[in-house]
Structure 1
């Protein structure tokens, strides 16, 4: 049995999503393979909260669709195969996240 930590990656992708506002947006519109998942970090300068979820993610609107909250500087690892499946919405306009696809 191989543990995830026992394998190294040949390459990884990274990026930034800026101008996250009160309407849900994709983390990236580019579909790419994420063998392990995606690490997302809210920018330390954010004035609001970024919510992470599916395409129906909301920010404090409904229990069933409210995303996982990231305050400024918070991070989350999502074990998903494609970062374009991740959506973000902010509690205010002008929020930013940084991400690494591994």
Structure 2
């Protein structure tokens, strides 16, 4: 919603790759320094992975993960609404 055309595709790929790396999907978070582990636990990709492990292994439900995923959903949804309203407003002029 913020970028246009080919820049939107490149931005999406870069964002997804960064979230996968820092969220611990490619390598375990324990391999990273402490500040990167803290960053990884703040990303939804880490918690989506944890929810997958929870569903397969039957461990305790990661409630913190649901809160983090919900917060990201609300913030990014609001960003999309603002970006969309600006884009539509620019087209009307």
With the length of structure 2 as denominator, give the TM-score of the two structures. Answer: 0.26
Greater CA radius of gyration, 1 or 2? Answer: 2
Structure that is richer in helix per residue: 2
Bigger share in strand: 1
TM-score normalised by L of structure 1 = 0.25
- Bigger relative CO (Cα 8 Å, ≥ 6 apart): 1
